[in-house]
Amino acid sequence: MLHVRMIKAKNPEEVGKIAADQFEALIHSKPACVIGLATGSTPLPLYRELIERERAGKIDFTRVRSANLDEYKGLAPDHPQSYRRFMQENLFDHISIRPENTIVPDGLAEDVDAMCRGYEEKIENWGGVDLQLLGIGHDGHIGFNEPEDHFPVMTHEVALTEMTREANKRFFDSIDEVPTAAFTMGIGTVMAAKKIVMVVTGKDKADILYKSFFGPVTPEVPASILQMHPDVTVIFDEAACSWE
């Protein structure tokens, strides 16, 4: 039984606007909500839209709390390619969210288990994620949950596949600089969110979008688990459904 709501938009900008509507509605109904955020190029139009809407007085982030999906292992928060830095530059520095209300896994954690446990506890203490934003990797990864023989439950360390390192090398000077590991919320952490919004754009994502929502639920396509979540909205552009 497919509970997934699929919304087709014209282009990445429209995907961003429709996704922003979901955030705006949540923040209006619950000003101190908890949002789960994602990195990658797909959420950028959404982040630009959220910044504009706060400037226009339509949203207020002062009480919002946010938890990011993942971080590269070994990168300091101010490293140019760290996901903490990405979030600062593309969203947090431009909205009224309080720094202490934003969490991203600590890429430099020495005690990995303690850091991962602490991350889960923090989200739990906040009352859980109300709205989790997701992008999708070409192999179906969500956060950095790569294809495996099982669905990892909690926040954990993961080795990055060559496909993911290849895809992400565009942000680094060379492939050798792309970290080989990361910390990511687990599939269980993601599935615990009350509502999930996935954004997907571009022709190169058409195949994996189709497999994720019209194929079998399998840990070999991590995003396919979303078929089991009761409240998922996938917003994609025309290019990303070029199987039609």
Residues forming the active site: 70, 139, 141, 146
Residue closer to ligand GLP by CB (options 60, 239) is: 239
Pick the closer one to ligand GLP by CB: 9 or 69: 69
Q: At what angle do helices 12-29 and 44-55 cross, to 10 degrees?
A: 50
Among 42, 82, 102, 145, binds ligand GLP (CB under 6 A): 42
* Using rule CB under 6 A, residue 144 touches ligand GLP: yes
Phi, psi of 5 (to 5 degrees): -90, 125
Q: Which of 187, 143, 210, 219 is nearest to 6 (CA)?
A: 210
Q: How far is CA 83 from CA 23, 42, 213, in A?
A: 21, 14, 27
Number of residues that bind ligand GLP (CB under 6 A): 14
* Distance between start and end Cα atoms, the chain: 21
**Residue 46, token pair as written in the block:** 């959404």
Q: How far is the CB of 225 from ligand GLP (least distance, A)?
A: 15
Residues 147-166 that bind ligand GLP (CB under 6 A): 164
Could you give the maximum distance between any two Cα atoms of the chain, in Å?
48
The amino acid sitting at 158 is V
- 196 interacts with ligand GLP by CB under 6 A: no
Give 61 or 183: the residue with its C-beta nearer to ligand GLP.
Answer: 183
Q: Is 35 or 136 the residue whose CB approaches ligand GLP more closely? A: 136
User: Which parts of this chain interact with ligand GLP (CB under 6 A)?
Assistant: 38-42, 69-70, 135-137, 143-144, 164, 168
